[in-house]
């Protein structure tokens, strides 16, 4: 089979460079084009430390040039271009939030702007492969969830889907700093965030809306989500700790069994016997789950690498499904320790 011709848009941000590196090593893909708004004309390896990809960055794509575009752009930017990419015959795997919400009004409320491509939104699939593999295989516009929703949903959906817990969940998440992207700011300044931890988005975070959407879909009814993210002094890794209230009669073993059944056959999930440290999945496309129980409350933790399973790796995983490749092709599933 001829390799799939792919482009990465936004190839020099953290998600984009991770995606580029994964595709450069992917056995069934050939990188045809790397797009960058700010670095066009320079080599990838000159802009990204340690990059072994020395393609020159472009500022545009020719129609028909590629079969798939993986877009790691800020919200609203990818949406504005997705139409032309799709019209040119490419599948679009979008890592932004633009096409994740079914309710465009919600998008416009949270993101404070008019949706740049409402018409396309309806055809998009929420591309969390563990939840929507079949739909992913049949769609041309894939909206890949980011790090927080990925971990929060994998920690809670199995229980909600099985109807074992109350539709009112708390997710306390801890993220490494790379989740905030490559642009320097006070909030990502080493001296400000090192040796410290703090909560943010306490009054409500943009990513809650898609959690509510997907948890409610799984539960078959409205689910209330209280989601509080925290910034942790590490570069990579994200841990979601979900607190779930089991319905009367539900026990720990029953709950664990439901998660075990859910993980069955899913190559990017790992069910651990102890709460997973994020480093045990660092650099991989794995989500590691643990189903704990404390005096009648279920405590489910989910660890991911925020840039891989929480972004670029998941985009590749979705692309693999869409093109009929092996689900984990090109994706690291072995972490390195320490």
Contacts to its own copies from residues 230-269, by CB under 8 A? 230, 232-237, 239, 241, 243
Q: Is 147 a catalytic residue?
A: yes
Smallest separation, CB 39 to its own copies (Å): 13
Of 14-22, 77-85, 159-167, 253-261, which segment contacts its own copies by CB under 8 A?
14-22
Whether the Cβ atoms of residue 311 and residue 18 lie closer than 8 Å to each other: yes
Task: Considering only residues 84 through 113, tell me which ones interact with its own copies, judged by CB under 8 A.
Answer: none
**Closest CB to its own copies among residues 24, 32:** 24
Of 42-50, 68-76, 90-98, 127-135, which segment contacts its own copies by CB under 8 A?
42-50
**Of 19, 147, 263, 302, which is the active-site residue?**
147
Nearest to 45 by CA among 62, 20, 70: 20
Binding mask 47-86 for its own copies (x = CB under 8 A): -xxxxx----------------------------------
Binding mask 286-305 for its own copies (x = CB under 8 A): ----x-xxxxxx-x-x-x--
Smallest separation, CB 91 to its own copies (Å): 25
Site residue total, its own copies (CB under 8 A)? 78
Among 36, 96, 156, 282, binds its own copies (CB under 8 A): 282
- Omega prior to 95 cis, within 30 of 0: no
Task: Considering only residues 117 through 136, tell me which ones interact with its own copies, judged by CB under 8 A.
Answer: none
Of 64-72, 79-87, 224-232, 315-323, which segment contacts its own copies by CB under 8 A?
224-232
Angle at 76 between CA 15 and CA 46, to 5 degrees: 35
Distance between first and last Cα of the chain:
38
**Closest CB to its own copies among residues 74, 277:** 277
Q: Does 42 help bind its own copies (rule: CB under 8 A)?
A: no
What are the residues facing 268 on neighbouring strands? Answer: none
Q: Does 41 help bind its own copies (rule: CB under 8 A)?
A: no
Q: In what order do the strands lie in the sheet with 287-294?
A: 198-199, 224-231, 168-175, 238-244, 297-304, 287-294, 269-271
Q: What is the DSSP string of 55-72?
A: PBPBS---TTS-SEEEE-
- State the angle between helix axes of 104-111 and 208-219 in degrees (0 to 180), rounded to the nearest 10: 150
Among 119, 138, 186, 248, binds its own copies (CB under 8 A): 186
**Three-state DSSP state, 190:** helix
Among 88, 104, 137, 188, binds its own copies (CB under 8 A): 188
The Cα 141–Cα 33 span in angstroms is 19
Whether the Cβ atoms of residue 248 and residue 166 lie closer than 8 Å to each other: no
Q: Does 200 help bind its own copies (rule: CB under 8 A)?
A: yes
Among 14, 85, 126, 148, binds its own copies (CB under 8 A): 14
Dihedral of alpha carbons 238, 15, 322, 121, sign: positive
Q: Does 335 help bind its own copies (rule: CB under 8 A)?
A: yes
The Cα 131–Cα 215 span in angstroms is 11
Q: Please, what's the largest Cα pairwise distance for the chain?
A: 63
Smallest separation, CB 189 to its own copies (Å): 5
Q: What are phi and psi of 270, to 5 degrees?
A: -135, 125
Active site residues: 147
């Amino acid at each position: 089979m001829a390799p799939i011709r792919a482009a990465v848009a936004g190839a020099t941000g953290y998600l984009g460079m991770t995606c580029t590196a994964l595709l450069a090593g992917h056995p069934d893909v050939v990188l045809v084009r790397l797009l960058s708004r700010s670095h066009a004309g320079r080599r990838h390896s000159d802009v990204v430390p340690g990059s072994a990809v020395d393609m020159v960055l472009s500022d545009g794509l020719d129609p028909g040039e590629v079969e798939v575009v993986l877009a790691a752009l800020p919200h609203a930017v990818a949406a504005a271009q997705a139409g032309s990419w799709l019209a040119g015959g490419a599948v679009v795997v979008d890592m932004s939030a633009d096409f994740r919400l079914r309710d465009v009004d919600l998008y416009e409320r949270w993101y404070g702007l008019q949706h740049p491509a409402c018409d396309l939104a309806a055809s998009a699939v929420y591309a969390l492969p563990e939840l929507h593999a079949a739909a992913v295989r049949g769609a041309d516009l894939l909206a890949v969830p980011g790090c927080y929703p990925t971990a929060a949903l994998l920690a809670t959906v199995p229980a909600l889907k099985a109807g074992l817990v109350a539709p009112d969940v708390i997710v306390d998440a801890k993220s490494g700093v790379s989740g905030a992207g490559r642009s320097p700011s006070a909030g990502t300044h080493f001296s400000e965030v090192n040796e410290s931890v703090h909560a943010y988005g306490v009054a409500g975070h943009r990513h809650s809306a898609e959690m509510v959407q997907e948890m409610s879909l799984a539960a078959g009814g409205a689910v209330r989500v209280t989601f509080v993210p925290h910034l942790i002094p590490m570069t990579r890794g994200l841990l979601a700790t979900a607190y779930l209230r089991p319905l009367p009669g539900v026990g720990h073993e029953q709950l664990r069994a439901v998660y075990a059944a859910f993980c069955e056959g899913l190559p990017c999930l790992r069910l651990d016997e102890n709460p997973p440290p994020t480093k045990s999945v660092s650099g991989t496309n794995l989500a590691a789950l643990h189903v704990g129980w404390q005096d009648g409350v279920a405590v489910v933790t989910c660890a991911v690498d925020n840039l891989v399973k929480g972004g670029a790796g998941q985009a590749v995983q979705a692309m693999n499904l869409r093109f009929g490749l092996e689900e984990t092709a090109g994706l690291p599933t072995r972490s390195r320790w320490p």
